[in-house]
Amino acid sequence: MHKQIFINLPVKDLPASKAFFEAMGYAFNPQFTDDKAACLVLGETLYAMLLTEPFFKGFTAKPVVDAKAATEVLVCLSCESREEVDQLVAQARAAGGAVPREPQDHGFMYAHGFEDLDGHIWELAYMSGEPPAA
């Protein structure tokens, strides 16, 4: 099985994106951070690589999606509690992110999310129990 995950996301303004996530309490791994890319630490083995659009384009022949106009991916992070979900959404809003919908309470799962400065959607979920049987 895989040991780590690195999600690669294009960003228009790397310093602004770094400041956004730092305002939310996240850190960056300096070993994998420079003027073209920043390694956002999401967990012990979970990372998002924020890549400047020109650098990102070097990895694909396909056009880069404008995440403010179209959805290319939904990144979902697990949280330890409903309060952590709400706190991260509040921090994202305070740092300039958008909160396009209301929280969802499915009984066994509480979810909410935000859009970062580039429009990437970050879902946050707290699982409080087992999902209902199908």
**CA distances to 11, 33, 35, 81, 103 from 126, in Å:** 27, 30, 34, 6, 11
CATH numbers and ranges of domains, the chain: 5-127 (3.10.180.10)
DSSP character for 98? Answer: B
Evaluated on CA atoms 102, 106, 110, 111, the torsion sign reads: negative
pLDDT computed for residue 105 by the predictor = 95
- Other Cβ atoms less than 10 A from the Cβ of 68: the count is 13
SS3 assignment, position 5: strand
- pLDDT at residue number 15: 98
CA-based torsion, 27, 30, 31, 34: positive or negative = positive
pLDDT at 72: 84
Q: How many CA atoms lie within 13 A of 32 on its CB side?
A: 14
Tell me which residues of the chain have a pLDDT lower than 50. none
At 127 the pLDDT is: 94
Q: How much is the pLDDT for 27?
A: 98
Helix H segments across the chain?
Answer: 14-23, 53-57, 82-94
What pLDDT score was predicted for residue 74? Answer: 93
